[in-house]
Amino acid sequence: MNKILELREKRAKLWDSAKAFLDSRRSDQGVLSAEDTATYENMEADVVSLGKEIDRLERQAVMDLELAKPTATAITNKPSQHQEPEKTGRASSEYKAAFWKAMRNKTGFEVQNALQVGTDSEGGYLVPDEFERTLVEALQEENIFRQLAKIITTSSGDRKIPVVASKGSASWVDEEGVIPESDDAFGQVVIGAYKLATMIKISEELLNDSIFNLEQYIAREFARRIGAKEEEAFFVGNGTGKPTGIFNATGGAALGVTAASSTAVAMDELVDLYHSLKAPYRNNAVFVTNDATVKAIRKLKDGNGQYLWQPSVRLGEPDTLLNRPLKTSVYVPEIAAGAKAVAFGDFSYYWIADRQGRSFQRLNELFAATGQVGFKATQRVDGKLILAEAVKVLQMKA
C-alpha cells in the first residue's frame, strides 16, 4: 500500500514538472520546438506508465486480499448457539465438490447424485454458487463499465423497463377557465439476453497436477475474455446480436457537442459538453474516453492557467477532468473525423442484464489427439442506455 502511495506522489511531482517544462518552453506563438516536444512527450509517457503501474498494483492488492482470506473458520461459538443453516442445491459443498470432480474428470465409479442438481440438456453443469460469485467479482475487476453501470439479474424472457419519455406541465388559467390537459408520455426499453461464449484448452498434465488451481485459472481467463468483449459491446455495440453501446447512433447517448476540428479537442468544447448535461445528472457524472484522447486533453488549460486534467494522489481516487472522475477504455473511439471521442454522464442509467445460469462444459474428445481438454464457457447478457439524456457525447467534426 505504501508503494502505491509512493508512486502516486511520484506521478504527481512528475506531472508538475512536465507542466512547468511545457509552460517554460512555449514560444510566443504557443508552440514547442521539435526537441522540446520530444522531451515533453517522454515526460508524459512516464506519467502514463506510472498510472498503469499504479492500476496494476491496486488490482494486485485486491486480489492478494481476496486470496489471503482463510479457507476455513475456527469454531468459536457454543453448541447451544444458533448455527448457520446448511446450504442446499448449487450452494452446497457436496455439489461444489462434485462439480469440480467432473471438471477434472475424477468422478471414478462412485455415484454422483449431487450433479443432477444442475445438469442441463447438453451435458453441461451450472456452476456452483460460490464459484459464480467469484466469477462476477473477476468480471468487475476486468471491466470498467460494470463499475459504472447498473447491473440487474434476469431469469427468463425480456425485461421491459417503462420510461417517462416526456413530462406534463402546469399552466396559468383564468378564473373558471378551462384547465388544459397535459399528460406524461411513456416509452419502454426492452432488455433481452445475447449469448457470449469462449473455449479454454488445458493440457491433461496440468489438470492432473493437484497443485494447479483450476477454479482460479478458469475464473481469471473467463473474466479476461468475457470482460473485454462485454466492454467493447457496452461502448460501441450496434444492438445486432450484442448489447447496444453508448456510442451507437441508435439507442446510444445523446449528442452534447460537435467539435470544431476533426483532429483536436478544445477546452471550451469540454466545458460545453459538461454543461450540455442536465445538472441532476452531473452529480454522479463521469468522463470516459480513450487513453490517446487523454494525451491531447492533458495539454489544455482553463482561463486561470490551470490544467483541466488533474492526476489522482490519493488511494482509490481516479484522475479528474473539470473536477469529475475520468475513466479510460481502449474501446472508446479515438479522435478522428466524425468519431464520438468523449462521453460524459451518469452511467448508472446504462443497465446491464445478466441472465442467470452461467454454464461450463467439459469437452473430452475434441482435443484428445493433442493431449488437451477443452472447457466451454457461456454467458447471456444484454445492456442498454435507459435514458439517452443521462449521457452526452462529444463528436468530432465530420
Q: DSSP assignment of 51-77, as one string?
A: HHHHHHHHHHHHHHHHHTS-SS----S
Q: Are 324 and 286 in contact (CB under 8 A)?
A: yes
Q: Are 293 and 270 in contact (CB under 8 A)?
A: no
∠ Cα 300 304 305 (to 5°)? 40
Cα dist. 342→202, 269, 276, 332, 392 in Å?
Answer: 40, 11, 13, 8, 8
Going residue by residue through the chain, which has 398 residues, state the pLDDT in tens, using 9 for 90 and above. 577 788 888 888 888 888 888 778 777 666 778 888 888 888 888 888 888 888 777 777 776 676 666 655 555 555 555 566 676 666 677 777 777 676 666 655 454 444 444 444 444 555 666 666 666 766 766 678 888 999 988 877 777 777 776 666 787 888 877 888 776 677 778 888 899 898 888 887 777 765 657 777 777 888 888 888 999 999 999 999 999 999 999 999 999 999 999 999 988 999 999 999 999 999 999 999 998 898 888 888 777 777 778 877 676 678 888 889 999 999 999 999 999 999 999 999 999 998 876 777 788 888 888 888 888 888 889 999 999 999 999 999 98
Beta 350-355 vs 372-385: how paired, if at all? antiparallel
249 phi and psi angles, rounded to 5 deg: -65, -35
Q: What is d(CA 312, CA 296) in angstroms, rounded to the nearest whole number?
A: 18
Strand partners, 289: 328, 342
One-letter amino acid for residue 264 of the chain: A
Position 180 scores a pLDDT of 80
Q: Are 194 and 382 in contact (CB under 8 A)?
A: yes
Q: How many helices (H) does the chain have, and how many strands (E)?
A: 10, 15
Q: What is d(CA 241, CA 381) in angstroms, rounded to the nearest whole number?
A: 11
Position 333 scores a pLDDT of 93
Grid-cell match 477454479, residue found = 215
Position 116 scores a pLDDT of 45
Position 192 scores a pLDDT of 85
Beta 372-385 vs 150-154: how paired, if at all? unpaired
Q: What is d(CA 336, CA 329) in angstroms, rounded to the nearest whole number?
A: 16
Q: Which three cell numbers stand for residue 227?
A: 470482460
E strands, the chain, where?
125-126, 150-154, 159-166, 185-191, 194-203, 254-258, 286-289, 309-310, 320-321, 324-328, 340-345, 350-355, 359-363, 372-385, 391-395
Position 115 scores a pLDDT of 44
Nearest alpha-carbon partner for 387 in 275, 252, 278: 252
